[in-house]
């Protein structure tokens, strides 16, 4: 089976698009959180597990949004077109995942009695970008701004999140090289995909 037939079959099978993406992602994350808390109870270790789990679901959704347009430019098929067509919903789903993540961090800060745990200027800036990208993913709000402004916001926001994820996972390499190195490698590959697509676009402009 060719890759084109495989991706067509995959996207036809899933047939998940639009708000269904957001709904299913939110439901899956909520169920995962509920299972963690039911199995381990509501305590510091379980809350830390929820923080880590929601960070990883946010990472997966971020990667899908971060590479969507570049993957389509490199190899247009039904899957990459689906990613681009549903980009805004991937961004909103990512924001929902980050919302769960923020709630888990807040609950953990309360559990350990350390308000300073919430003070992270870099993280707060990341949340501002996420909020701005989510809001401008709605037609009603994006129409208030020039398209170029919205595009720049999403490009800058995505690269900021890439830096934040990469910085976080590199810092965790000392904890477990075997576990966290794949995260760093995948982030590097995602950036490489963006670079290849950008170079391809520039070359096409020159020819």
C-alpha span between 100 and 96 (Å, rounded): 6
Which residue pairs from 76-84 have beta carbons closer than 8 angstroms and sit at least 24 positions apart in sequence? 77/3, 77/4, 77/7, 77/8, 78/4, 78/7, 78/8, 78/10, 78/11, 78/12, 79/7, 79/10, 79/11, 80/7, 82/11, 82/17
CB 137 within 8 A of CB 96: no
Q: 59: Cβ–Cβ under 8 A, 6 or more apart, which residues?
A: 165, 183
CA 173 to chain centre: 21
* Average of per-residue pLDDT across 104-127: 82
Six-digit token string for 122: 């870099």
The model's pLDDT over 22-57, given as tens digits with 9 standing for 90+, comes to 999 999 999 999 999 999 999 999 999 999 999 999
- Average pLDDT of the chain is 88
More confident position, 15 or 199: 199
Name residue, tokens 């929902």.
Answer: 96
pLDDT digits (tens, 9 = 90+) for 128-185: 999 999 999 987 776 777 788 889 999 999 999 999 999 999 999 999 999 999 999 9
In percent, the amount of the chain with pLDDT more than 90 equals 69
Q: Which two tokens stand for residue 157?
A: 């926001």
- The mean pLDDT of 110-124, rounded to a whole number, is 76
0.75 exceeded by the pTM? yes
Average pLDDT over residues 75-100: 94
């Amino acid at each position: 089976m060719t890759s084109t037939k495989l991706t067509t079959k995959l996207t036809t099978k899933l047939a998940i698009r639009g708000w269904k993406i957001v709904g299913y992602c939110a439901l899956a994350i909520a169920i995962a959180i509920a299972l963690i808390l039911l199995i381990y109870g509501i305590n510091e270790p379980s809350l830390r597990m929820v923080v880590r789990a929601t960070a990883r679901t946010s990472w997966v959704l971020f990667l899908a949004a971060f590479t969507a347009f570049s993957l389509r430019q490199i190899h247009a098929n039904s899957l990459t077109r689906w990613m681009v067509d549903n980009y805004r919903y991937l961004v909103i789903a990512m924001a929902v995942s980050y919302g769960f993540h923020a709630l888990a961090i807040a609950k953990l800060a309360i559990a350990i009695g350390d308000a300073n745990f919430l003070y992270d200027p870099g993280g707060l800036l990341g949340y501002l970008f996420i909020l701005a990208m989510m809001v401008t993913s709605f037609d009603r709000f994006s129409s208030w701004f020039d398209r170029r402004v919205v595009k720049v916001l999403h490009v800058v926001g995505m690269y900021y999140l890439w830096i934040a994820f990469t910085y976080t996972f590199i810092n965790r390499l000392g904890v477990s090289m075997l576990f966290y190195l794949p995260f760093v490698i995948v982030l590097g590959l995602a950036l490489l995909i963006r670079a290849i697509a950008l170079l391809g676009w520039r070359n096409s402009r020159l020819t």
